[in-house]
Amino acid sequence: MNFIETSIPGVYIIEPKIFKDDRGYFFESYNEPEFIKHGITNRFIQDNQSKSSYGVIRGLHMQLPPFSQAKLVRAIQGRVLDVAVDVRKNSPTFGKHVAIELSDENQRQLFIPRNFLHGFSVLSDQAIFAYKVDNIYNKESEFGIRYDDPQININWGIPTDKVITSAKDRIANTLQDLLQRIK
């Protein structure tokens, strides 16, 4: 596995070593000793999966402390633009984001530490998206920021008139709302 640190410390792109032949392919999607060797010591306790069609944007979501979650995410089928936004209090990269294409072709994964907003847009006809989390979900700790918050300014790779999102995500908070909450 190749661990590539992004422009935001703690966020890693993980590229597996893929073994291909005429039967198909094989790769390790998770290897605890390799992750630990790169400073990722989170213990994942739950796997989640979603299926979405082109134009869907899921996010930006997070769990507030004490239920914050680190995530290890990947596209099992199709292509997504995966986004992690740093909202760690006092972080020098607060409000900055990393956007990485994950696909069934590149088999890349993204490790997102706790206290980050997370979301993705679907760039292919359909996508199946999987993620591991290291803490349980708590409804009262759920927090979301609008995918189109101008302060974060994410290019989701989807024309505005093609965006499909939930009613909850359309009326979500802003980064300013989060700043008020974490003071």
Phi and psi of 11, rounded to 5°?
Answer: -95, 125
CB-based contact 74:130 (threshold 8 Å): yes
DSSP per residue, 94-137: TT-EEEEEEETTT--EEEE-SSEEEEEEE-SSEEEEEEEESS--
Answer yes or no: 147 catalytic. Answer: no
Q: Annotated catalytic residue: which of 12, 97, 131, 147?
A: 131
Instruction: Please name the residues in contact with 165: beta carbons below 8 A apart, sequence gap of 6 or more.
Output: 56, 57, 58, 147
d(CA 20, CA 35): 23
CB-based contact 6:38 (threshold 8 Å): no
Answer yes or no: 131 catalytic. Answer: yes
Paired tokens of 92: 């020098």
Q: Annotated catalytic residue: which of 25, 61, 97, 137?
A: 61
Which contiguous run of DSSP H or E holds residue 182? helix 175-182
Instruction: Please name the residues in contact with 163: beta carbons below 8 A apart, sequence gap of 6 or more.
Output: 55, 57, 121, 147, 156
Active site residues: 61, 131
